[in-house]
Chain A
Amino acid sequence: MPQVSMTVNGKPASGDVEGRTLLSSFLRDTMGLTGTHVGCDTSQCGACVVHVDGEAVKACTMFALEAEGAEVATIEGQAAPDGTLNAIQAAFQEHHGLQCGFCTPGMVMSAAALLKDNPKPSEAEIRDYLEGNLCRCTGYHNIVKAIMAASGQNVGAIAAE
């Protein structure tokens, strides 16, 4: 079996994988980083979004071997070493942007990628960007609100239209 080496959350990571092993499986099964979730098998749900060399990637769409030498960031590496939540994570808690928590890692990682490129996205831009992240619990209301809040926007008076 071939070996793959990469950096995950700033630390070297390597392991034996099959050619068909997905990056999501490598992270979950080899590295034990079970925060990256798998909610579908057609790359629709976005629960497995991680960052590969700074870009948001659905980890189920990439073979582990394709990440050879890459810098991978997962949900486990988002809070500060002392456990302090980052701005997006904190906003999700503050605005109740999660319920069952299963889609949440992908939502947080997608939101981080969005805010990197677009620091003050409009509601419509957030909704459009999250097209690849499914949530069944929140109706998206508080997720969109949390991302707006994380980007420093006032969300005090949010209602329809």
Chain B
Amino acid sequence: MPKDHEGIGASSKRREDVRFLTGAGNYTDDINVNGQAYVHFLRSDVAHGRLTKVDTSEAEGMPGVIRVFTGADFEGVGGLPCGWCVTDRHGQPMQEPAHPVLAQGKVRHVGDPIAAVVAETAEQARDAAEAIEVDIEDLPAVVDMKAALKDDATKVHDDLSSNLCYDWGFVEENREAVDKAINEAAHVTTLELKNQRLVANPMEPRVAVGDFNRATGEHTLYTTSQNPHVIRLLMGAFVLGIPEHKLRVVAPDVGGGFGSKIFHYAEEAFCTFAAKAVNRPVKWTSSRSEAFISDAHGRDHVTKIELALDKDNNFTAIRTETYANMGAYLSTFAPSVPTWLHGTLMAGNYKTPLIYVNVKAVFTNTVPVDAYRGAGRPEATFQLERVIDKAARELGVDPIALRRQNFVTEFPYATPVAVEYDTGDYNGTMDVLEKMADLSGFEARRKESEARGKLRGLGLNCYIEACGIAPSQLVGQLGARAGLYESATVRVNATGGIVVMTGSHSHGQGHETTFPQVIADMIGIDADMVEIEHGDTANTPMGMGTYGSRSIAVGGSAMVRAAEKVINKAKKIAAHLMEASEADIELKDGQFSVAGTDKSVAWGDVTLAAYVPHNYPLDEIEPGLEETAFYDPSNFTYPAGAYACEVEVDPETGKVEIKRFAAADDFGNIINPMIVDGQVHGGIGQGIGQALLENCVYDESGQILSASFMDYAMPRADDVPFYDVDHSSQTPCTHNPLGVKGCGEAGAIGSPPAVVNAVIDALHSGGHKVDHIDMPVSPARVWAAMNA
């Protein structure tokens, strides 16, 4: 029988913590393969130029140098593939440039790798890289997206017709109806805004170790990845031509990802390739400075949104035009972020009947941009919730009342942007928020702040997100070049212990703790009897990994399906052992019993019988107790929430201080409330970082000005408050076996609009008629807005 504190709904303490707290974690940089050499990449220090000379002769003679590689070494090798093809408004596929492992002919962003030195030590590799002679004929850098689309703009890719990746319309058939509704509306609120470029910055920089076994012809790549199977497929099939059975990818303990470790990167392909070429294991460890110019960035949208309302303040139409920066190349899932992860969310929590989203994706001479925590959904939520707040102010109505009036209240609800929300209770979640955030006490707090010379503001935000990505059939129609199911193998040992091998990957989420809670509940055994294996393609079934808040909703569901198969087989064995009918067998608290009798056998007796089949129905079932399931969801899941932020603005300096932050989320059923709280805290922290601090800045020449933690303002402990989080509002997902929705991205989606709405509210309370301030809402920007 499981201990009371270990099943579904228990805040079990994390079993992975002990190794992390004692320095015994096994991160990729902690892995050293006997005889390994080290690689250092020589990267472009200009944004755009033609390579006229790459002379490696001096470097090759430097101490310890084993070999120097350039783009020429990769001419017969595939480029890095893009995993999603978006079809534009006119039915044409997006423009898709080549993405070589090492630059060939041109460099296209600061950080583009030109050459790589493999040497005996990391220092020798670095020293030798400095001796490579490179001549670059500078070309004008394309940085601003709108300038990049002008007819006379320099092209990032010479062989493409322009810098436009795609011009996407969604839903194109609605375009004219939306235009008409906006033209005929009683009121239209318009807002132009930016969702600034961010850098994910997990605390662990990326690392890759390539190893080649000449005896077996097998490659192994140890890498900092959220999805080792995806890397194996992309790198093996599209870049290096290595079949899966000769390629093992291991992502051990991974120190955070936030999206940036989904993608297949050049360094992974390089280390795998070079290990065979030099017949030595090859290791690369990114520095943080290198991470800023080689990890995929996030966000970077410029948007105009129009919200139309009728005379009764009902939303009648939304029209948006967004420019989305792709950077210099298409990162693995980049095209999907501004389209299918953004356009489909533009309905938000509201029953707006007509929506048209236009997105122009643009190539520039900047680091590629791809998914970062929330990926498209924060951008959708930010513009929608900012424009609703502005509309409320223009119309002189309460922003909560305006939201409530327009909430979707009946489910399932088919939005005009192609998705169907299965469940939700947006009013109920807002009720929770109003109470927990003590909104009725706000005016008193505002007066108290005013008495101290501070402007206090309250910002509201509602969000919905599409998680548990995704039904494979649907994403296939939308351009995904992969399925998005998840897998699990449940292996029961003879003495009853269980190993679950999952395609999901934990890089901070705590799967090693939460997944066993589910199994413990299903069988009625102690969670300590269940172990989770993940992150190694050699011992886990082909799975798609962890991103998009999908682990428990998709990976957990696969595990449930596999466990159900195990239980069904175990019941057959139990029926035989007890000479009863299978239909009468019940499993409870780790005991199989025959309904209506006192006969029972323990879980361990049945598992032993499966592997020691002395008394066993061999003519009916095989020995052993191990099952695999692949689960493909029938829909996304739709977590939703309501957030409230209170800020104080110092009118003398423009500095914003967050005084209170409350988050009411509906994640459906909860496996481990402690871990869910932690996920929300972390998301809010990142969202506050975006709202107030973080900004990845390029100058006109394409130089990145914020390429270290000295220049890129990461949120620190004294930038954020304690957060008040609540997930008692629960409408279980209707289409997965656990009724779960996912919680990983909610905080990062829900918090930026709440913070900015609060700042704008504070400024209005001081008589400053400011409509909008772009993020990060820094003291300089606030002060400038107040003194414009």
Contact = CB atoms under 8 A, between A and B. Distances in A.
**Genuine A/B complex:** yes
B677 interface: yes
Given A127-B717, A144-B722, A92 B17 contact: yes
B724 A159 contact: yes
A96 B716 contact: no
A121 B29 CA distance: 34
A161 to B, nearest CB: 5
Interface stretch (B18-26, B311-319, B391-399, B628-636): B18-26
B256 A142 contact: no
A144 B685 CA distance: 13
B446 to A, nearest CB: 13
A131 interface: yes
B14 A134 contact: no
Interface in B1-22: 13-14, 16-22
A20 B123 contact: yes
Contacts, number: 204
Contacts of B21: 75, 78-79, 85, 89, 92-93, 98, 101, 104, 108
Interface in A113-161: 123-124, 126-128, 130-131, 133-145, 158-161
Interface stretch (B201-209, B355-363, B614-622): B201-209
Contacts of B287: 40-41
Contacts of B715: 139-140
A96 B20 contact: no
A99 B662 contact: no
Contact of B204 (A39, A108, A126): A39
Contacts of B714: 44, 134, 136
Task: Give the most central of A44, A140, A141: most B CB within 10 Å.
Answer: A141
B23 A136 contact: no
A44 B675 CA distance: 27
A71 B447 CA distance: 54
A103 interface: yes
B207 to A, nearest CB: 11
Nearest to A74: B23
Nearest to B23: A35
B652 interface: no
A93 B203 contact: no
A99 B23 contact: no
A108 B22 CA distance: 10
Interface stretch (B504-512, B557-565, B773-781): B504-512
Given A35-B24, A138-B681, A141-B681, A103 B203 contact: yes
B661 interface: yes
B23 A76 contact: yes
A127 B720 CA distance: 9
Contact of A105 (B23, B201, B509, B716): B23
A136 B716 CA distance: 9
Contacts of A96: 13-14, 674-675, 677-678
B681 A142 contact: yes
B710 A44 contact: yes
A98 B683 CA distance: 14
A128 to B, nearest CB: 6
A101 B30 CA distance: 14
B50 interface: no
A99 B724 contact: no
B30 A34 contact: yes
Contacts of B662: 160
A89 B659 CA distance: 29
B203 A102 contact: yes
Contacts of A20: 123
B333 to A, nearest CB: 21
B682 interface: yes
Interface string A44-64: 110100000000000000000
B678 A100 contact: no
A156 to B, nearest CB: 13
B722 A47 contact: no
Given A93-B14, A142-B681, A161 B258 contact: no
A149 to B, nearest CB: 13
B708 A44 contact: yes
B256 A100 contact: yes
Given A41-B287, A126-B717, A100 B203 contact: yes
A133 B717 contact: yes
Interface string B505-535: 0011110000000000000000000000000
B401 to A, nearest CB: 24
Nearest to A34: B30
Interface string B648-674: 000000000001111000000000001
Contacts of A79: 21-22
A96 B715 CA distance: 19
Nearest to A100: B508
A150 B369 CA distance: 41
B63 interface: no
12 contacts: A28-B30, A79-B22, A85-B18, A89-B21, A98-B17, A99-B678, A100-B253, A137-B508, A138-B685, A140-B716, A159-B723, A160-B724
Interface of B: 13-14, 16-25, 27, 29-30, 123, 201-205, 253-256, 258, 287-289, 507-510, 659-662, 674-675, 677-678, 681-686, 688, 708-710, 714-718, 720-724, 747
Given A35-B23, A78-B21, 19 more contacts: A20-B123, A35-B22, A36-B23, A39-B205, A47-B203, A76-B23, A78-B23, A83-B18, A100-B254, A101-B16, A108-B21, A136-B682, A136-B685, A137-B678, A137-B682, A139-B688, A140-B681, A141-B681, A145-B722
